[in-house]
Chains A and B, each alone.
Chain A
């Protein structure tokens, strides 16, 4: 079962947090103008709101969260996918710990037990971490593929994660952790999506 674009936009915003229309469109797999049009309709319905200002953007309202939770639960049951998603989620948690340790290894080094920022001066070390990310990525793709087989919207995560890891490989290393479309950023949203989909409180 496919979600309507309105529901897809609402759910994307629920998982990515505060964002401009362009990021919502990327997450939902829509053109920016279409995403923006849906956001405006959702705002009229009181499900999302827009703030100006340096840290503003579109955000979901409490009513929007409730509506999204109901739609996502209905979609999960209509697809008969609860068991599959719950099973994949258990494996996701193992991968999650591994990825977070890789991100931490990328950001920090331990100097005699104290955490200090990784200054990225040791190319051999950085290459080892990136090598581990390359080993990790196919296992993450497999998880996304299993989810997408029962709920097609999860296919967006494989696309976005694949894009991030390719850009890291091409030397744009901010796409590991630091960018708004970085590997960890997208993974963190996938984590949120699984929690929302299964109705698990964080």
Chain B
């Protein structure tokens, strides 16, 4: 086939052709891990689509043939009985998280939804799946799809191709230096339903905690939900440990899988997963980067575990990791009373008394440090942010006005704290009431707000960082006192020169 490849363990095309997501799924297949049946439409088809403004000749026939392959493997029929539903996801060579479109549950025509309800005896599940299909296709700009499954598929693939050129995706590529002409591949897979029943869930799992580097598995699950719910933060998620309690079989299989993937990459990794009626499936795998302190911990742990050598550990760390590792944070593993969690928007820790208005913050700041807690921020709050040591808001994301202003003033900030209400001089969150004047701590890196004064890890407290810098000095043969970044850069220069001369 010219435009389509089955997701098989022996698929040898490079990620430039099949995209990083399909590349990861092929790897999972090779490692013998469970991946739903499916196929990938290549980036070449996307480039042809963008050039001509329509799907390339022959694509429709190849989609029909590839669907027939999935139907044969699953014993299901797209638009037939028993019904096959598929997911349609973007997957470029370079990951562009959240920038392009996804359609879930495609094939759930009116008739197929009825068949799914009859098959499972659960009309609520079938309707929920149909609702998710309609919502995701509307978001992808393919609302009012014809009630014909192959036609739906062709339109959805076209919508994902077109989303390569959405303004957000273009901006993202410009910022990250990704060429605009690469195009995206499209991964089409048989749906596995995390919303199937009480023994079903969607989630993400990390082999090591991405904020601390502590060995895992860590992550989040949503029972009776899809993996995208957890990734997008759309639903109330539970710690991944809940899976160990409720589905020990799937948990054990997940642990083994993360070990196998780590052994392959010799690095921390993450997976997107779905548990369907107790059976574990993988939808995506990534080598997992992490913030500075976590990256330093992962690198030193991998050396101690004998997985990588010191030179490789040094090469995996960058100046930015080291700078980030020096940013104060609430001590990992400390006993703290967590009041709320949101999104960290400006790294650093602030401790101060709660003020619920900008004028209050200005007034109270005369007596000592203040944390301004607001539902949202407007220009009327800016002088309060200036007076405060830290900021917490209920609404807004890491790219909201509040976050931008907090960063411009260097104030540690946590935004998007779900369920936080500010009224009459008190803050209500998570069933608790905190009065103005109460002492709280804000970690603008991890997004945690705690009651009281938390223990803070400051620059240089981290003995792992000291070890890494010691290795760097040994490689560079230079132990003079200098900034961290220069010590690492000197080691990198020696290691790269060594690699270059070995390669000659």
Instruction: Give chain A's interface residue range (CB within 8 Å of chain B).
Output: 35 or more
Taking CB atoms and an 8 Å cut-off, the chain A residues in 179-202 that contact chain B are 182, 184-185, 188-189, 191-192, 195, 202
Q: Is B72 an interface residue (CB 8 A)?
A: no
Among B177, B289, B323, B398, contact of A119 (Cβ-Cβ < 8 Å) = B323
B290→A114 contact, CB < 8 A: yes
With A55-B365, A128-B174 known as contacts, the answer to whether A113 contacts B289 (CB < 8 A) is yes
Q: How far is the CB of B323 from chain A (nearest CB, A)?
A: 7
Q: Is A158 an interface residue (CB 8 A)?
A: no
Query: Given the complex, which residues of A lie within 8 Å of B345, measured CB to CB?
Result: 115
B399→A191 contact, CB < 8 A: no
Query: Given the complex, which residues of A lie within 8 Å of B445, measured CB to CB?
Result: 114-115
B378→A102 contact, CB < 8 A: no
Q: How far is the CB of B230 from chain A (nearest CB, A)?
A: 15
A55→B383 contact, CB < 8 A: yes
Q: Which of A12-20, A32-40, A146-154, A160-168 is the contact stretch?
A: A12-20
Q: Which of A3-11, A71-79, A82-90, A104-112 is the contact stretch?
A: A104-112
Alpha-carbon gap, A191 to B63, bound state (A) = 47
A113→B290 contact, CB < 8 A: yes
A188→B407 contact, CB < 8 A: no
Query: Given the complex, which residues of A lie within 8 Å of B290, measured CB to CB?
Result: 112-114
A111→B320 contact, CB < 8 A: yes
B168→A100 contact, CB < 8 A: no
With an 8 Å Cβ cutoff, the count of chain B residues facing the other chain is 50
Query: Given the complex, which residues of A lie within 8 Å of B404, measured CB to CB?
Result: 100, 103-104, 107, 177, 184, 188
B383→A128 contact, CB < 8 A: no
B347→A128 contact, CB < 8 A: no
Among A16, A98, A184, contact of B167 (Cβ-Cβ < 8 Å) = A98
With A17-B379, A111-B292, A113-B290 known as contacts, the answer to whether A100 contacts B400 (CB < 8 A) is yes
Q: A residues within 8 Å of B by Cβ?
A: 15-18, 51, 53-57, 59-60, 97-98, 100-105, 107-109, 111-117, 119, 121, 124-125, 128-129, 131-132, 177-178, 182, 184-185, 188-189, 191-192, 195, 202
Given contacts A101-B399, A104-B403, A119-B320, 17 further A-B contacts (CB under 8 A): A17-B379, A17-B383, A54-B387, A60-B380, A101-B168, A107-B408, A108-B398, A111-B291, A114-B211, A114-B292, A117-B347, A119-B323, A125-B175, A128-B175, A184-B401, A184-B404, A191-B401
A-B contact pairs, 14 of them (CB 8 A): A17-B380, A53-B362, A53-B366, A59-B383, A97-B399, A112-B288, A115-B345, A116-B291, A116-B347, A131-B174, A132-B175, A177-B408, A182-B408, A189-B379
